[in-house]
Amino acid sequence: LAAPNTFAGEALDRAGPQRRDEAWLAARVADPESRVVAASEAGVVVAGERPRLLAVDELPDGLELVLLGVDRDGRAIFAADPGDAFPGERRGLRDLAPVLSQADGGMIAHAVALLNWHRRHRFCANCGAPSESREAGHIRRCPVCGTEHHPRTDPVVIMLVHDGDRAILGRQAHWPPGRYSALAGFVEPGESLEEAVAREVREETGARVDEIAYRSSQPWPFPGSLMLGFIARWTSGEPAIGDGELEDVRWFTREEIASGSVKLPPRQAIARRLIEDWLGREAPDTGGGLAPNRPARSS
């Protein structure tokens, strides 16, 4: 099995069965060995280049804790949002990604995705009443209508389209100058992943594809996506800007990509892995950080 993508590979046991065990949870919260990953909207609280793991009593009283799991030493690891005023150095996930270990990257992506969901889902989507965190932060329950809301993960397909010797790459206007990457877009309701790949390629570039094959996936907690990586073979339609999501889209030859004449996404992005898998070798680093891959909700 190939190494997981950045933001996957958390080393915790997620302790699913224990989430509903109130006595176990209370004991873990009271345990001085338990630790908390603290992250607010401004970033993750860090000690140098690692997330700073705080004891529960270092955080403000009454803070809502969400359980991430249990580490190899048997310690419970929680996450919490202490607010932007809480002291300590913070760093954003994109900034941290290149320096984190696989396990730390997975752990903070888990923490940030779950905290993002809580922050954006304070109210019941069914009746509008304030909802309450339950099961160690893995559901929110509405005390008025009883609806249980589960954490969202929004699937995004990302695909390298090629015809053997060339690949289609596009760029969004807010990316660093010269950066090109694989095409991407949100999966829509009532759509298979393969259908989403074909539709997004058609809408963004006018091209048609077949031989759509899954490669790997990447948690993308901005705020709560899962990138699903595919490779697809071009069949027809010269690439041209379609629905306005891309500023430019065109063919690149293997030589152009391998020579470094196009700026690719950094190694922490699944797009880079899809491109290099197709290329059959590593492409040169041409600089630039992890850009916000924000596929628009297509109309």
200: phi then psi, degrees, rounded to nearest 5? -65, -40
Residue 145 binds Zn ion (CB under 5 A): yes
CB neighbours (10 Å) of residue 295?
18
| Residue 122 within binding range of Zn ion, rule CB under 5 A | no
Asked whether position 140 contacts Zn ion by CB under 5 A, the answer is: no
Cβ distance to Zn ion smaller for residue 144 or 213:
144
Would you say 92 and 43 are in contact if contact means Cβ atoms under 8 Å apart?
A: yes
Is residue 264 involved in binding Zn ion (CB under 5 A)? no
Give the interface segment with Zn ion, choosing from 135-143, 153-161, 165-173, 275-283 (CB under 5 A). Answer: 135-143
The reply to whether 126 sits near Zn ion by the rule CB under 5 A is yes
Q: How far is the CB of 220 from Zn ion (least distance, A)?
A: 29
CB of 65 to Zn ion, least distance (A): 23
Q: How far is the CB of 6 from Zn ion (least distance, A)?
A: 37
Q: Least distance from C-beta 140 to Zn ion, angstroms? A: 10
Residue for token pair 């992506």:
109
**Is 127 one of the binding residues for Zn ion (CB under 5 A)?**
yes
Taking the complex as a whole, how short is the minimal distance between the CB of residue 122 and Zn ion, in angstroms?
A: 12
Taking CB under 5 A as the criterion, which residues in 66-105 touch Zn ion?
none
Tell me, letter by letter, the H, E, C secondary structure of 155-202. Answer: EEEEEEEECCCEEEEEECCCCCCCECECEEEECCCCCCHHHHHHHHHH
Residues 111, 120: Cα–Cα separation, whole Å: 14
142 in contact with Zn ion (CB under 5 A): yes
By the 8 A CB rule, do 228 and 193 touch?
yes
Instruction: Pick between residue 26 and residue 129 the one whose CB is nearest to Zn ion.
Output: 129
Q: How far is the CB of 252 from Zn ion (least distance, A)?
A: 50
In the chain, which ranges are continuous DSSP H helix?
Answer: 22-30, 93-96, 102-120, 193-205, 254-259, 270-279
The Cα 49–Cα 162 span in angstroms is 37
Q: Which residues bind Zn ion (CB under 5 A)?
A: 124, 126-127, 129, 142, 144-145, 147
